[in-house]
Chain A
């Protein structure tokens, strides 16, 4: 059996040739559509032509050899060099200032615990969520506030889109071929937010995972956000947390049958402030949700013949209330969004683990 290294290759990649050039008939959007559709490339939206000048401007924001293979991306075994990533960042419309985030997210996705081959190929709706932390959030103009998961901000929109284009072109996650997602999901177009550290009562998420760097990036491969609305909490944190636990407790998500899967909980700043007023730490919240998001073991067993559970979970009786994930540490809390009483639950694909690393070019 082969081993997978941190760049995602389970065989040593051959030294690749530089990316090839191709002729574009003219600079019109129609010509780009025609060229890309002819090759089965693109995400269906208009693309910015990757001219050498634009790619060089992107690479100027990175350090290191442009043609060094920084990741081998599965299932296609595509060799991601900085230049190849830059090409896709240009296509996505990235401003050069965000490029180190794109490069770092690609590096993170190649880590073996992500299981990118499975993430991309699965019939499950699963997309890499990129969460940006630290000083680059403001410097490069990411949106951590109102509508962070939504449209209207170039950095969020184009970083998420650049990652998707890298998945499509380099990792081979083309629907029906390297991506079997039965229905897909909108976050397969773009899926990037910034952590709202300014309005978080706690240290940054990256620091809580012991990544102490000026800027960091987290990748978590899972479903779209599932909304949680609570307008009622007034000194009673349980009103918020029980609603989050109820959104986590679903037999239709893979966390139900794969106990190593994480939940990312995107707390709106107002919910986070309410919980912090009750003196709850991040760990307290995870413990509460671990305790509250449960179903009878027998119900899981009836629904799933094969259960990728921690060993101890197999031992309990059918009437025991089993948690939706194996440990409180699998419940990851970060603050995102703007005014209002909304939070979100982002379930995992399951056979994947999130990764947080410093932003480097």
Chain B
């Protein structure tokens, strides 16, 4: 066996390609002792049917636990528009923090909208507002990955069937109603 061949078959050390992480670590805001009387904000990123689903979730949560829907808004400046591919507008972020104790946001049912819904959710957690990101079965893996990337692998996430866009309102209401037990658990744990 030649020297060259012997070298080719020896184990060697090479670099990993991924490099280190520069991410921060974030912790969940502790769950409140009781949900009764707490104010809930619905933050809509403008994806189709998001307003319908999030509003139904928040209203059903209120009827079950005694929370109050205090704010329903799109995430763009002055709540006049929504762009799912960038963070929540600063004025709306401040308004949600001022007017709500709990946040529900979405829809994390595409790529960039999942990235920024997860981002927004974490920003609310960082200022002490328990926040739930609503996603769908088909986008749960990317929601988990991105939440982990952004430093909060245990993000409060509510998973609905897929797809929310293009599904009829009656079905969406049923999906939302079926998810409320889980929503209560997310805000209580």
Chain B residues near A25 (CB, 8 Å)?
11
> A172 contacts the other chain (Cβ, under 8 Å)?
yes
> B13 contacts the other chain (Cβ, under 8 Å)?
yes
CA distance A176 to B144 in the complex (A): 11
CA distance A25 to B10 in the complex (A): 7
- Determine whether the beta carbon of A305 is less than 8 Å from that of B46: yes
> B81 contacts the other chain (Cβ, under 8 Å)?
yes
Which residue of chain A has its CB nearest to the CB of B89? A1
Please choose the segment from B14-22, B30-38, B65-73, B168-176 that sits at the chain A interface, where 4 or more of its residues have CB less than 8 A away. Answer: B14-22
> B121 contacts the other chain (Cβ, under 8 Å)?
no
Please choose the segment from B52-60, B110-118, B154-162, B178-186 that sits at the chain A interface, where 4 or more of its residues have CB less than 8 A away. Answer: B110-118
Interface residue SS majority, chain A: loop
- Determine whether the beta carbon of A13 is less than 8 Å from that of B22: yes
Enumerate B81-107 residues with CB–CB distance to A below 8 Å.
81-88, 90, 93
CA distance A14 to B24 in the complex (A): 8
CA distance A20 to B82 in the complex (A): 42
Which residue of chain B has its CB nearest to the CB of A350? B85
- Determine whether the beta carbon of A79 is less than 8 Å from that of B20: yes
- Determine whether the beta carbon of A118 is less than 8 Å from that of B142: no
- Determine whether the beta carbon of A172 is less than 8 Å from that of B145: yes
- Determine whether the beta carbon of A178 is less than 8 Å from that of B145: yes
- Known contacts: A122-B85, A181-B111. The answer to whether A21 contacts B22 by CB under 8 A is no
A-B CB contacts (within 8 Å), total count: 175
- Determine whether the beta carbon of A41 is less than 8 Å from that of B111: no
Chain A residues near B13 (CB, 8 Å)?
21-24, 52
Max chain B Cβ within 10 angstroms of own Cβ: one of A16, A27, A91, A119: A27
- Determine whether the beta carbon of B112 is less than 8 Å from that of A121: yes
CA distance A118 to B85 in the complex (A): 6
- Determine whether the beta carbon of A122 is less than 8 Å from that of B12: no
- Determine whether the beta carbon of B14 is less than 8 Å from that of A49: yes
- Determine whether the beta carbon of B20 is less than 8 Å from that of A122: no
Which residue of chain A has its CB nearest to the CB of B80? A314
Which residue of chain A has its CB nearest to the CB of B74? A306
Please choose the segment from A81-89, A243-251, A276-284, A291-299 that sits at the chain B interface, where 4 or more of its residues have CB less than 8 A away. Answer: A81-89
Chain B residues near A20 (CB, 8 Å)?
15-16
CA distance A50 to B15 in the complex (A): 6
CA distance A118 to B90 in the complex (A): 18
Chain A residues near B10 (CB, 8 Å)?
26
> A335 contacts the other chain (Cβ, under 8 Å)?
no
How far does the Cβ of B138 sit from chain A's closest Cβ, in whole Å?
A: 9
Chain B residues near A77 (CB, 8 Å)?
21-24, 149-151
Which residue of chain A has its CB nearest to the CB of B127? A1
CA distance A75 to B150 in the complex (A): 7
Complex interface bits, A76-100 against B, C-beta within 8 A gives 1, otherwise 0: 1111110110011001000000000
How far does the Cβ of B148 sit from chain A's closest Cβ, in whole Å?
A: 9
CA distance A9 to B151 in the complex (A): 13
How far does the Cβ of A240 sit from chain B's closest Cβ, in whole Å?
A: 33
Max chain A Cβ within 10 angstroms of own Cβ: one of B84, B88, B110, B115: B115
Enumerate A334-350 residues with CB–CB distance to B below 8 Å.
350
- Determine whether the beta carbon of A308 is less than 8 Å from that of B81: yes
| Shortest beta-carbon contacts, A-B, top 10 | A13-B22, A180-B111, A16-B20, A77-B23, A84-B19, A118-B112, A121-B115, A122-B112, A79-B22, A351-B85
- Residues in B lying within 8 Å of A, measured CB to CB: 7-24, 46, 48, 81-88, 90, 93, 110-112, 114-116, 119, 123, 139, 141-142, 145-146, 149-151
10 A-B residue contacts at CB 8 Å? A13-B23, A19-B16, A52-B13, A77-B21, A79-B19, A117-B119, A172-B149, A177-B142, A177-B145, A306-B83
Given contacts A20-B15, A77-B21, 14 further A-B contacts (CB under 8 A): A50-B14, A75-B145, A76-B23, A78-B20, A79-B22, A87-B17, A87-B19, A117-B112, A121-B112, A170-B17, A170-B19, A176-B142, A306-B81, A351-B85
